[in-house]
Amino acid sequence: MVSAAMATLLRGFLRPLCAFRGSPGSSTGVPLRAVSHGAGLLYPEHIPTSPLQKVLLAAGSAGMALYDPYRHDMVAVLGETTGHRTLKVLRDQMKKDPEGAQILLERPRISLSTLDMGKLRGLPEGSFGCAYLRFLDVNRVSPDTRAPTRFVDDEELAYVIQRYREIHDMLHTLLGMPTNILGEIVVKWFEAVQTGLPMCVLSALFGPIQLSTQSLQLLISELIPWAVENGRRAPCVLNVYYERRWEQPLQALRQELGITEPPLRVEGLV
Amino acid sequence: MMCQAECRHYLQFSFQLPDVYQVFESVAKKYDVMNDMMSLGIHRVWKDLLLWKMRPFPGTQLLDVAGGTGDIAFRFLNYVQAQHQRKQKKQLRAQQNLSWEEIARKYQNEEDSLGGSRVMVCDINKEMLKIGKQKAHAQGYKAGLAWILGDAEELPFDDDKFDVYTIAFGIRNVTHIDQALQEAHRVLKPGGRFLCLEFSQVNNPLVSRLYDVYSFQVIPVLGEVIAGDWKSYQYLVESIRQFPSQEEFKEMIEDAGFQKVTYENLTSGIVAIHSGFKL
């Protein structure tokens, strides 16, 4: 069965191989087989990859992410190379929901250039926008650190995964989780239940390896059950047009999504 | 024929042709690691073979162009130092009736440990030179070594200066290869030798197939995973395919005025060493 899979993979890459390769050393003046300057690209950052390359990338990025936890780009690559089927499901879910469909149509992006920081700062205490801003300040993060999608071979799905990445900070705000390792793992569990993306599942399962026993205990006994329960209860978080809800009180938004208060404070823990 | 060689560089890249300078600026730090990963360490053997072919004698003035991180220069220094030490040992054994002054002088090591050999490493890229200097410092190479920022197409040296000119895995990144070859001819002394270690055309169809798969499927992935840089390594494998074949390159070297031009294939032609003399 493994050899049959390998055979399919081999056949799969031999064909695109012809596109990449020019015939070497021809000095006869016959134009070499030109790989199009951008015509194969579905979106500006797109890098087309063969099935074999995707497998190698998935394996390599998984290994490197475990070996060097600071390689966030590897986690992103893992998500892109393993998420195709799941992204389709998510995209279809978004299409069925009115707010989600609008997001797919308008394709809002979250970055310092698209966010109206002045307006956000003027928002009342207790609003979602105010809480989000406070989260960014306290944890010293910026919405501009998300790498662009490269290895997804469908431009709409590329947006879906980009959107998933960009709302990550919003989920932190809604769940009340800081950006330390424990907080990130809790958010990953929530995301894993919500999206089903293989990368989220892998991170959720392997992330806890680096935790202390005490944190691990708290994670397993309290935080994971809470995250899973909320993940199940909440509607698809990709269907929320966050940019239109800055003024909405945080508590109201939480209630709407069925998200309860975290069972304990995670700030001081590691 | 010349135009085709030049024009080749502007065709057939799968994305916007990157600035070569920028490519090497971004790969500089991981250059050595990536070389090991991509060639599975074999690049070390290739470079060793280049030195063995060179067989420098004490007093050789070497110019290593595109020598960036110093691999050839360090090997050269090791070689001439080992050679010089062997020569000294032989001399000591032969001279049994030395006076006390002569013995004292030998022990004081007033002699140049390299026997007058010198290597100049010339590279167009500051980042690569920086890495080379750091390596030299870390590995203790000081004497007989100089680092020069320069362009292979317009070398900052006088005519007839060097005994040997080497360029290892550098000439395919030069925009006008013929100019680099002419410059090489210019700065070499009469009797001087040109040596080029470069990727070439594979002569075995099975090896060629495997090599293609490995180059196009695996190497960009390695670049992404290890160095976080897919595009530079995609550029690398594509630039290798663009380079002229062994025979074509031989003709180009002859056109620049070199004589007795020969080449030797290594690893089924994945790499070739071209050699020529200025006579």
> What is residue A207's predicted lDDT score, i.e. its pLDDT?
83
How many CA atoms lie within 13 Å of A154's alpha carbon, on the beta-carbon side? 12
Q: Which residues of B are annotated as a binding site for S-adenosyl-L-methionine?
A: 69, 123, 151-152
**Picking from A191-200, A225-234, B79-88, B172-181, which range would have the lowest pLDDT averaged per residue?**
B79-88
Name the percent of chain B lying above pLDDT 90. Answer: 62
Can you tell me the mean pLDDT for A18-28? 37
Q: Which element (helix H / strand E) includes B223?
A: helix B219-227
Q: Which of B15, B226, B248 sits opposite A27 (nearest CB)?
A: B248
Alpha-helical (H) ranges within B95-204 are: 100-107, 126-139, 177-187
| Helix, strand, coil share of chain A (percent; to 5) | 65, 0, 35
Q: Would you call B16 and A38 a contact, using CB atoms and an 8 Å cutoff?
A: yes
Confidence of residue B15 (pLDDT cuts 50, 70, 90): low
- A-B contacts (CB, under 8 Å): 73
Type of residue numbered B143? A
Q: Is B32 exposed, middle or buried (0-12, 13-18, 19+ CB in 10 A)?
A: middle
Contact of B6 with chain A, judged by CB distance below 8 Å, is answered with: no
Residue B62 is encoded by which pair of tokens? 């070497």
How far apart CA A151 and CA A54 sit, in angstroms, is 8
Q: How many residues does chain A have?
A: 270
> What is residue A39's predicted lDDT score, i.e. its pLDDT?
61
Q: Which of B11, B218, B248 sits opposite A32 (nearest CB)?
A: B11
> What is residue A18's predicted lDDT score, i.e. its pLDDT?
35
Q: Is B42 exposed, middle or buried (0-12, 13-18, 19+ CB in 10 A)?
A: middle
Among B12, B248, B270, the residue to mutate for chain A (most A Cβ within 10 A): B12
Closest CA relative to residue A149, chosen from A208, A73, A217? A73
For residue A268, pLDDT beyond 80:
no
How far apart CA A245 and CA A257 sit, in angstroms, is 13
Q: Is A121 exposed, middle or buried (0-12, 13-18, 19+ CB in 10 A)?
A: exposed
Q: Which element (helix H / strand E) includes A178?
A: none
Q: Which residue of A has its CA nearest to B229?
A: A73
Q: Which CATH architecture has domain B19-278?
A: 3-Layer(aba) Sandwich (3.40)
Look at A12 and B175; give whichever has higher pLDDT: B175
Q: Which element (helix H / strand E) includes B225?
A: helix B219-227
How far apart CA B178 and CA B192 sit, in angstroms, is 18
Interacting residues of A193 by C-beta distance below 8 A, sequence separation 6+? A227, A228, A231, A232
Q: Would you call A57 and B224 a contact, using CB atoms and an 8 Å cutoff?
A: yes
For residue B82, pLDDT beyond 50:
yes
Contact of A76 with chain B, judged by CB distance below 8 Å, is answered with: no
The answer on whether A46 is annotated among ligand-binding residues is no
List A residues 137-166 in contact with B (Cβ-Cβ < 8 A).
150
Contacts of B221 in chain A (CB under 8 A): 53, 56-57, 60
Confidence of residue A50 (pLDDT cuts 50, 70, 90): very high
For residue B232, pLDDT beyond 50:
yes
> What is residue B111's predicted lDDT score, i.e. its pLDDT?
62
Q: Which of B201, B225, B242 sits opposite A60 (nearest CB)?
A: B225
Mean pLDDT of chain B: 87
- Tell me how many degrees the CA angle A240-A230-A169 measures, rounded to the nearest 5: 50
For residue A106, pLDDT beyond 60:
yes
Residues A67-94: pLDDT tens digits? Answer: 887 888 899 999 999 999 999 999 999 9
Q: Which residue of B has its CA nearest to A74?
A: B225
Residues B201-223 as b/e (b if ≥16 CB within 10 A, e otherwise) read: bbeeeeebeebbeebbbbbbbbb
> What is residue B184's predicted lDDT score, i.e. its pLDDT?
96
Task: Indicate the pTM of the whole model.
Answer: 0.75
For residue A30, pLDDT beyond 80:
no
Q: Which of B12, B15, B228 sits opposite A22 (nearest CB)?
A: B12
Contact of A54 with chain B, judged by CB distance below 8 Å, is answered with: no
> What is residue B160's predicted lDDT score, i.e. its pLDDT?
95
**β-sheet bridge partners, residue B64:** B121, B166
Radius of gyration of chain B (CA): 20
Residue A3 is encoded by which pair of tokens? 């050899």
Q: Would you call B212 and A21 a contact, using CB atoms and an 8 Å cutoff?
A: yes
Q: Would you call B4 and A27 a contact, using CB atoms and an 8 Å cutoff?
A: yes
List B residues 11-70 in contact with A (Cβ-Cβ < 8 A).
11-16
* Complex ipTM over 0.95: no
Residues A122-157 as b/e (b if ≥16 CB within 10 A, e otherwise) read: ebeeebbbbbbbebbeeeeeebeebeebbbbebebb
Among A10, A27, A41, the residue to mutate for chain B (most B Cβ within 10 A): A27
How far apart CA B168 and CA B232 sit, in angstroms, is 18
Q: First CA to last CA across chain A, in angstroms?
A: 43
How far apart CA B111 and CA A157 sit, in angstroms, is 70
The answer on whether A247 is annotated among ligand-binding residues is no
Contacts of B213 in chain A (CB under 8 A): 13, 17
Confidence of residue B52 (pLDDT cuts 50, 70, 90): very high
Residues B133-165: pLDDT tens digits? Answer: 999 999 999 889 999 999 999 999 999 999 999
For residue B122, pLDDT beyond 70:
yes
How far apart CA B213 and CA B267 sit, in angstroms, is 16
